[in-house]
Amino acid sequence: MKKLWLLLCLLTLQISAQQVLSVKEQAQVVDEILAERFNTVLPELMDRTNVDMWVIISREYNEDPVLKTMLPATWLNARRRTIILFYRNKTNNTIEKLAVARYNFGDNIISAWDKEKEPDQWKRLIQLIEERNPETIGLNYSTDFNIADGIVKTDYDEFMSYLPKPYHSKVISAEKLAIGWIETRTPREMVIYNQLVDITHDIIAEAFSEKVITAGITTTTDVEWWMRQKIVDLGLKTWFHPTVDVQRTKDELKGHLYSFSDRPEKQIIMPGDLVHCDIGISYLRLNTDCQELAYVLRPNETEPPKYLLDALKEGNRVQDIFTNNFKTGETGNAILLKSLNEAKAEGLRPSIYTHPLGSYGHSSGPTIGMWDAQGGVEGTGDYPLFPNTVYAIELNTTVNIPEWKRDVRIMLEEAGFYGDDGFRYVNGRQTKLLTIPRVKSHQGN
């Protein structure tokens, strides 16, 4: 029996691992996608945001978050001071991709600096700018969007000290361009995203099963570390430590802070518990963020109680109301308030705190609520919704369970894609509670 169990475990690992490319294969895909994005996505974004020159300045181990998404697959960091210049000539429909560096920036961005001819890197940058005489010079600084605020004070001051005075008035924030670069997904990326979310769902399904959880013995912390180890064993990374928590009949519903950072550790998982997890993985420079629920069957139970199944339906209803309000040009705050009002009008008790998802876990784009800002989020919530973007549809609804004499919180999170044809989930969503253990049929009395 022990050998059979070990064989099943190894087989499960092998099946999951087949979905993950080798490091070499991943590098090839990353570079292919980068080339496509530089040649198709970037020109469109520069036109949309009216930035004809984008200058990104970064130093080794202190990289601009945008530049990190542009690194060739074999580069893990910038080198020395790395300066990239993109110049868009809309009339000629061309885009130049230049590196003010001693060497090419991978295969996509060519070196434009011969140090023997011009020893000063800053002076060479200014020469390139003057030769092109752009209408605007975008730099990555932003008050509201951290990922678009990558230029450090030292580099900004040095750049401005070298830049001739007539060009100072052309320097603008590249905030909208940087956000667009970070949030926009290509069709090929979305094919990959489906696979990435599928792997995430597989990890949750295994974690929330009798393979990992033995009621009365396994703790929430045990499951968290199992998830973390599983991610590593598959050759993947996680952008945050997984969390697992339970709601049960004898406990009162805690505040929202409990759900995010104040939960107890090492809670023993028991029959009758409603178990919840939050997990996100990173693969091919994309990220997932997923929350699902499972019920631990009591003796003689073959399915979760109807009142919990109905509670999940209320959570799904909030999702439907919310995602039906996705519309190009609407701000995050407008979508949030409209959705909350519609859900409350149906007698639901919603809380919505959805964030952009993609190159980063908490990515750039419209913030659609925060758990402690249900009236809207100034700045990031005022940014509009654009197509070809991905979101962690993160929300909950509070449901009263008379049988438990308490409220429960149905917390859900799934990756969703908004495109020209509207909204869809990247790889489905949870509409049924997982059961621990899985229901099995037995013959005989």
Band of pLDDT at residue 10, cut at 50, 70 and 90: very low
Percent of the chain scoring above 70 in pLDDT: 91
Band of pLDDT at residue 166, cut at 50, 70 and 90: very high
pLDDT of residue 258: 58
**Residue 133, pLDDT above cutoff 50:** yes
Q: What is the pLDDT of residues 316-361, one digit of tens each?
A: 999 999 999 999 999 999 999 999 999 999 999 999 999 999 999 9
Q: Which has more pLDDT, 117 or 77? A: 117
Q: What is the pLDDT of residues 70-113, one digit of tens each?
A: 988 887 766 678 999 999 999 999 999 999 988 888 888 888 88
pLDDT of residue 141: 97
pLDDT of residue 105: 80
Per 3-state DSSP, the chain is made up of helix, strand and coil in percentages (nearest 5) of 35, 25, 40
Percent of the chain scoring above 90 in pLDDT: 80
Average pLDDT of 265-282? Answer: 95
**Cis-peptide, bond into residue 242, ω within 30° of zero:** no
Distances (CA, A) of 324 to 76, 131, 292, 320: 40, 49, 21, 6
Q: What is the pLDDT of residues 174-187, one digit of tens each?
A: 999 999 999 999 99
Rg (CA), the chain: 25
Q: Looking at 253-398, list the stretches that DSSP marks H as alpha helix, in order from N- to C-terminal side.
A: 256-260, 306-323, 332-345
pLDDT of residue 240: 95
**Residue 418, pLDDT above cutoff 60:** yes
pLDDT of residue 102: 80
Contact predicate 398/417, CB 8 Å = no
Helix (H) or strand (E) holding 419: strand 406-419
Amino acid at 178: A
Please enumerate in sequence order all residues whose Cβ is within 8 A of that of 151, keeping only pairs 6 or more positions apart, or say none.
56, 57, 58, 64, 139, 140, 141
pLDDT of residue 259: 57
Average pLDDT of 47-52? Answer: 97
**Residue 189, pLDDT above cutoff 60:** yes
350: its two tokens: 């919603």
pTM of the model: 0.91
Largest CA distance in the chain: 90
Band of pLDDT at residue 134, cut at 50, 70 and 90: very high
Average pLDDT, the chain: 91
- Of 435, 407, 390, 377, the C-alpha closest to 314 is 407
Average pLDDT of 370-384? Answer: 95
Query: Which SS3 state, helix, strand or coil, does residue 81 take?
Result: strand
Q: Which has more pLDDT, 225 or 26? A: 225
Contact predicate 248/272, CB 8 Å = yes
Contact predicate 68/56, CB 8 Å = no
